Amino acid sequence: MLLPVVMLIPWIMWNIEVYGSKFLEVQVSTHTFGEHTKMLIPRLFASAGLALALGLFLWRRRTPKTDEKSVAWNKQIGRLSRLCVFGVIVVAEAPSLWKTLHFYALPRAGWWTGLFANELPTFYFGQLVEFSAVYVLGYASYIFLRQGITQEERFLQYVALGNLLLYIIWGNFQCRYILGSVPLFLLLSAGFIYKAGERLSGVRSVAVRAALGILLAAFIFYSVAKTYHINEVLTYTNNFCYF
């Protein structure tokens, strides 16, 4: 996790040498503009309010309780909240999910600025899925893999989502900004596949276990095949800037 910071050190040193102590102010002003700033300030306030509410909720959950009903109620609230957020993302990014099912459909990419200027805050979730359906499994881990996982796995879920949320708040949607989130969600997807394989091995019915195993394998094969197709037609041609 510290590697990106280490890689930025030469860039930071160069900026300090060129711009002096105001290098951070220069960089921020370079990458912001009037309309974006007007949109960013309300987002920051709204995000701060949501973060405070989430912090209070997590603090309440961490507080030791002897009342079993309170513990069960907190778990139900957390589960329902995740399902609601997941449902909103699915509805908002339904076109991207549909394109994922079309083998020859390509993700949006091009040279013109403002290509994604009017996108919803859920944009990144849908755009990543357009590049590879395997990200769906990473998203699903937040719903189906919350129990029985290690602290490290739970921390990975928080870091992956937190990193993506920073760019959602920032706006100015472009997938090149979230390349640091890609390996994290791929790890979550790989973890989901591994856990799914473990659970499949516990299914008693041979027919059901075989059917589910074939379905999972077919989904993985389709995802890899379509990603290869996108690479051949779009990525390797390198004829775009915004994606």
Whether 171 maps to a domain, the answer reads yes
Whether 45 maps to a domain, the answer reads no
Mean pLDDT of 211-231: 93
Whether 230 maps to a domain, the answer reads yes
Candidates 127, 243, 132; CA nearest to 188 is 132
Whether 107 maps to a domain, the answer reads yes
Q: Which pLDDT tens digit goes with each residue over 124-139?
A: 999 999 999 999 999 9
Rounded to two decimals, the pTM is 0.76
Tokens representing residue 88 in the block: 């909103």
Range from 93-107, 137-151, 206-220 carrying the lowest mean pLDDT = 137-151
Q: What is the DSSP string of 187-238?
A: HHHHHHHHHHHHHHHT---HHHHHHHHHHHHHHHHHHHHHHHHHIIIIITTT
Highest mean pLDDT among 17-26, 40-49, 78-87, 157-166: 157-166
First to last CA, the chain: 25
Q: pLDDT value at position 109?
A: 84
Whether 223 maps to a domain, the answer reads yes
Could you list the beta-strand ranges (E) of 72-215.
none
Whether 115 maps to a domain, the answer reads yes
**Number of structural domains the chain divides into:** 1
Whether 134 maps to a domain, the answer reads yes
Residue range(s) defining the domain that contains residue 216: 80-235
Q: Which pLDDT tens digit goes with each residue over 162-206?
A: 888 888 887 778 888 888 888 999 999 999 999 988 888 888 888
Whether 11 maps to a domain, the answer reads no
